[in-house]
Chains A and B, each alone.
Chain A
Amino acid sequence: MLKINDLHASVDDKAILRGINLHVKPGEVHAIMGPNGSGKSTLASVIAGKEEYDVDEGEILLEGENIDELGPDERAHKGVFLSFQYPVEIPGVSVTNFMKTAINETRKAKGLEDMPANEMLKMIREKAELLEIDRKFLSRSLNEGFSGGEKKRNEIFQMAMLEPKLAILDETDSGLDIDALRIVANGVNKLKSKDNAVIVITHYQRLLDYIVPDYVHVLHNGRIVKSGSKELAHELEAKGYDWIKEEVNA
């Protein structure tokens, strides 16, 4: 599904990723953990194609195809989805219309006709129910005045609508109370299949109780310095990150 080879990336000539290697197969859930400033969100943004980051070395292959030169919209058309840590507020565009535009533009890119309005409505209703989103919420301006929990639920709602092959959840658990966390995790789990993959980026182990990873990677200083099973997350929760840093420095 996703293969990242020796990825180096920088912003304004400041190196942030310094040789990432990651291999994600269909059906897998990978967790990427690490202390603040280790490059977790940068990795997510670089995979999604944020243009202010420069890829200096290495490659990102999606289903064998190098996606380096593709814009964020083209990557989305190929099935990449990023759940934002800080979703952007867009006054004047309703959630429903945003979703309609996103879905129909993706279909257009695949040479398909617009989704019929009744089908779209049905899908919106189903997915909103999955995320326990109120109908009224859908006519509000995108993320404008949403609480932290509403923003994150809305991100996963979008993921449910777009049905990506590769979903990257960037700190989706931050700012969530336990009920919202359960709703969000439940949504993600219901969307999981043997054909798609999820990368969960998180600082804490908490979310991983609900979205259980097959692999856990620790990012430090722009490199994956340790990989393991879900037990590694428990170990990090118990012991913090300092022992990893010491191991790396030793």
Chain B
Amino acid sequence: MELKDKLVSSFMAFEDLIDIDSPVHDIRTEAIKTFETKGFPTKRLEAWKYTSLNSILKPNYSVFPKHENALEYGDVKQYFIHDIDSYKIIFVDGKYSSHLSQTTHEGIDVCLMSAALSKPKYRLVIDNYFNKIAGKDSLSSLNTAFSAEGAYIHIPKNKVVDKPIQILHFSTGNESALMLQPRNLVVVDENSHVQIIERHQSLTENPVLNNSVTEIYANKRAIVDYYKIQNDRQTASLIDNTFINQKQESVAKVHTFSFGGKLTRNNLNFFQNGERIDSTMKGITIIGDKQHVDHNTLVHHIEPNCESHQDYKGIFDDKATGVFNGKVVVEKEAQKTNAFQANNNILISDKASINTKPQLEIFADDVKCSHGCTIGQLDDSAMFYLRSRGIPEKEAKALLMFAFSNNVLDSVKIPEIKSRITKIIAKKLGVNIGFDL
């Protein structure tokens, strides 16, 4: 059976597992219909022109988790940013792992989507925010239809969350192939500040497909700092659909570090519903083999005096392929918008490729919008210069690549993330040099 049919027919079985009297059930039912009508996106769609899902739709995925699987912290510690104190919301094969997690209800809610969807005290937040900005595209709809578990984070107003929140989704390989639909909701109220780290990690070579949806609401003057670490095995794929709704004077930053996985598609969408909003999205992609990473960003400037900053760096080796599709829409009312977009790429091998496409739709007349994309190779004269000082070829290359992507790390506010990323980069480039540049 094709994956699409399997998913649609599994929906009834899924309904047996959940509370169908829940107010979100109508949303789910609607969503499965949307998915059934639209099906998986194909390359015929403009937004999917350079990314084909065919190869990752083939495995015979289990489409919702059946077993509970225990993991010991010691076995998976390496996937955490473990040298900082943090709240943790951890899932194993789609099921919440209470003993790996560290949640809280003290002043803030850092807990589970399943709880939020079922308990009356969360009802108001769910009614106001759940599925309000998630897309109606087929993949987001698919996730919505099966949305049952994920992280639920609600920060009431005037709170600076004392430590970062880590959301980790592990897959253990207990199923021969597993498809997961993680669903996260993050609501940050007025004047509050939160830092979140998200990671999907497969622990075996069994195929995994994560189709994740995260809705983030940054209310008035809220600050949301979000880090996505994508360094999964080459049998794991991720479709990350993130939707961020910003209110007046809020600041939202998303850093995406893509180093692993078979196919990674990031659909990152910012909606600016208020004045003087700042949206930042930055990314470093370093991949090789036949890996594929696709960044598909949207910033929707709706009101005046807002800013958006995009800076994506990509380094592609072997037969790796990259896509950057950055869309910026500036509505007629959004005067004095400052929108910047940069996408710089280095191709290490002749067989690697990158498709980069800026898309600006500007309806206002008093704005500053810029975009620039470059595709190049490592500079020979710089290589000679470094090598003439005794730095071997491999290390010199690594140093230049690191320097190339370095400014993306400048805005990372958690030093331990910065040092972890530099270590992953060094490992990825096969060198053992400190990059505290």
List residues of A whose CB falls within 8 A of some B CB: 48-52, 71-73, 75-77, 81-82, 84, 87-88, 90-94, 97-98, 100-106, 109, 158, 162
Contacts and interface: CB of A to CB of B under 8 A. Distances in A.
A105 B403 contact: no
A91 B9 CA distance: 55
B387 A73 contact: yes
B385 A88 contact: yes
B391 to A, nearest CB: 5
27 contacts: A48-B384, A49-B387, A73-B389, A73-B396, A75-B388, A76-B388, A84-B388, A87-B385, A90-B386, A90-B400, A91-B403, A92-B403, A92-B406, A92-B437, A93-B402, A93-B437, A97-B436, A98-B386, A98-B399, A101-B391, A101-B399, A102-B386, A103-B390, A105-B390, A105-B433, A158-B389, A162-B390
Contacts of B404: 92
Interface in B386-437: 386-393, 395-396, 399-400, 402-404, 406-407, 433-434, 436-437
Given A51-B384, A97-B436, A105-B395, A76 B389 contact: yes
Contact of B399 (A49, A93, A106, A109): A93
Contacts of A104: 433
A49 B386 contact: no
Contact of B390 (A77, A91, A97): A77
A75 B387 CA distance: 9
Nearest to A96: B437
Interface residues of B, number: 27
B375 to A, nearest CB: 18
Nearest to B433: A101
Contacts of B437: 92-94, 97
A71 B387 contact: yes
Query: Most chain-B CB neighbours within 10 Å: which of A77, A88, A92, A97?
Result: A92
Nearest to A51: B384
B391 A102 contact: yes
A96 B281 CA distance: 30
A88 B387 contact: no
Given A84-B385, A88-B379, A88-B385, A73 B400 contact: no
Given A88-B384, A92-B403, 18 more contacts: A52-B380, A72-B384, A72-B387, A73-B390, A73-B392, A73-B396, A76-B388, A81-B388, A84-B385, A88-B381, A90-B385, A93-B399, A93-B402, A93-B403, A94-B437, A98-B386, A98-B399, A162-B389
The majority secondary structure among interface residues of chain B is helix
Contacts of A48: 384, 388
B388 A49 contact: yes
B154 to A, nearest CB: 39
A73 B393 contact: yes
A54 B135 CA distance: 59
B395 to A, nearest CB: 6
Nearest to B402: A92
B233 to A, nearest CB: 30
A188 to B, nearest CB: 17
Interface string B71-97: 000000000000000000000000000
A100 B395 CA distance: 13
Interface of B: 379-382, 384-393, 395-396, 399-400, 402-404, 406-407, 433-434, 436-437
Contacts of B382: 88, 90
Contacts of B381: 88
Given A92-B406, A93-B399, A50 B391 contact: no
B435 to A, nearest CB: 8
A72 B404 CA distance: 22
A76 B403 contact: no
A27 B399 CA distance: 35
Contacts of B393: 71, 73
A53 B95 CA distance: 61
A76 B390 contact: yes
A195 B72 CA distance: 61
Contacts of A94: 437
A76 B399 contact: no
A104 B433 CA distance: 9
Contacts of A73: 387-393, 396
B436 A105 contact: no
A88 B383 CA distance: 9
A84 B384 CA distance: 11
B346 to A, nearest CB: 13
A72 B396 CA distance: 11
A92 B409 CA distance: 11
A202 B386 CA distance: 23
A68 to B, nearest CB: 16
A137 to B, nearest CB: 16
A43 to B, nearest CB: 15
A97 to B, nearest CB: 5
Contact of A92 (B380, B386, B392, B407): B407
Given A88-B379, A92-B407, A94-B437, A101 B387 contact: no
A198 B368 CA distance: 54
A91 B294 CA distance: 26
A101 B379 contact: no
A82 B407 contact: no
B380 A105 contact: no
A87 B384 CA distance: 11
Query: Most chain-B CB neighbours within 10 Å: which of A75, A97, A103?
Result: A97
A109 B390 CA distance: 9
A81 B391 CA distance: 12
Contacts of B387: 49, 71-73, 76
Contacts of A76: 387-390
Would you list the 8 A-B pairs with minimal beta carbon distance, nearest first?
A92-B403, A76-B390, A106-B390, A92-B406, A72-B387, A102-B389, A88-B385, A73-B387
Contacts of B407: 92
B309 to A, nearest CB: 18
A48 to B, nearest CB: 5
Nearest to A45: B384
A76 B386 CA distance: 10
Nearest to B410: A92
A87 B382 CA distance: 9
A103 B437 CA distance: 15
